[in-house]
Amino acid sequence: MDDKAVGGGQVTGDGAKPNWMKRLTTLVTALVLVGLVVLAIRHVARDFRPAEVWAYVRLLPWASVAQAAGLVAGAYLVMTLYDVSALKYLGIKLPYRTVGFGSFAGYAISNNVGFAVISGGSVRYRVYSVAGLSAADIAKIVVFSTTTFTLGITFTGALGVAIGPEVGAGLLNVPAWLLQGVAGLVLVGLGAMTVAAAVTHKPVRLWRWSFALPSSGVMLSQIVIASLEILLSAAALWTLLPPETGVGFMEFTALFCAGLAIAIVSHVPGGLGVFETILLLGLRDHGPAGGAIGALLAYRFLYYVLPLVLAGILLLTWEIRADHGPVAAWRRWRARKAGRSQ
């Protein structure tokens, strides 16, 4: 992938906004979104009963927890394929042990911290630079992975709405057929992009932006990998929901994708509170709020907390055992100091 293609799209022309305007627009958008989420949380909190939540968490069947944990593990395993496919496309060979470690640690941390390009990119740089990759190569991997996720969540969310629009229609108070029509247009657009990638190698222009598309095979693999990861993640939470929720899996997946997308745009670390609020609003007419909140708490522990702890342990162990980095430098300094004192 050349630099322009990896960039995914760039603004061209004299109408480009200054950087400070972009930063201000992003900040204002995030603040407005957070404000709306706070109002939504106040609305949801009216049905919040802590005793009911903790009772549901304590009574969660171990079989459901084990199944959800297995699905989360599968999702993180598929996440490593983001970097595997990026490296393959770039023509760079690294052992899976290195790629799996770097990508897992990067995603486990960025999922909790937010700002994935910075947080996840920093972890990847620490691991992949030792393996010989340049900063430019690592930046391409991050952008490729971000593009992969964007394609996957767009496809999966649109497919979920097309199959089961009822939850989204109730949340937005719009006709189900309207949502299905929009979802159909999105799916057609993705199909058109894939066809365009197969027949043209020229950048695609959309208003002021220029996008260099990868090959159709690469784009299809991106959609498949990301869609599988999102479906596994959604299935983990769906497994933990109370049986009386009564929402179909694809309906729930569409809601899951919406919550995930809004949480990412909000820039709130880990989407904490944002993701949960969107899902609670969508499920408010489909069962007791306490059970849904309990399921969300269990999911956050399995999907966010446990991988973060594991990634921290793995990174610390790697730093201690490696012959590079601050720990190794401190050891060498201690050895030199001990040698001079003798």
The DSSP string of 268-307 is -GGGTTHHHHHHHHHHTTSS-HHHHHHHHHHHHIIIIIHH
pLDDT of residue 13: 41
Cα separations in angstroms, 245 against 167, 280, 291: 12, 11, 9
Chain centroid to Cα 30, Å, comes to 17
16-31 CB burial, b ≥16 within 10 A, e <16: eeeeeeeeeeeeeeee
Two structure tokens written together for 100: 């799996």
pLDDT of residue 47: 54
CB under 8 A, 24+ apart: contacts of 186-195: 186/154, 186/158, 187/155, 187/158, 187/159, 187/162, 190/151, 190/154, 190/155, 190/158, 190/223, 193/219, 194/219, 194/220
pLDDT of residue 4: 38
* Dihedral sign, Cα of residue 242, residue 239, residue 231, residue 30: positive
Instruction: Tell the residue number behind the tokens 């969508």, with chain if given.
Output: 282
Task: Please name every residue paired with 210 in a beta bridge, in sequence order, or none if there are none.
Answer: 10, 205
| Strands across the sheet containing 204-206 | 10-11, 209-211, 204-206
pTM of this structure: 0.79
- Regions of the chain short of the pLDDT cut 50: 1-17, 40, 44
Two structure tokens written together for 88: 């393959």
- Report helix, strand and coil shares of the chain as percent, to nearest 5: 80, 0, 20
SS (HEC) of 241-266 = CCHHHCCCHHHHHHHHHHHHHHHHHH
Instruction: Tell the residue number behind the tokens 């297995």, with chain if given.
Output: 70
The domains of the chain are located at 3-44+61-322
pLDDT of residue 325: 55
CA distance 98 to 41: 41
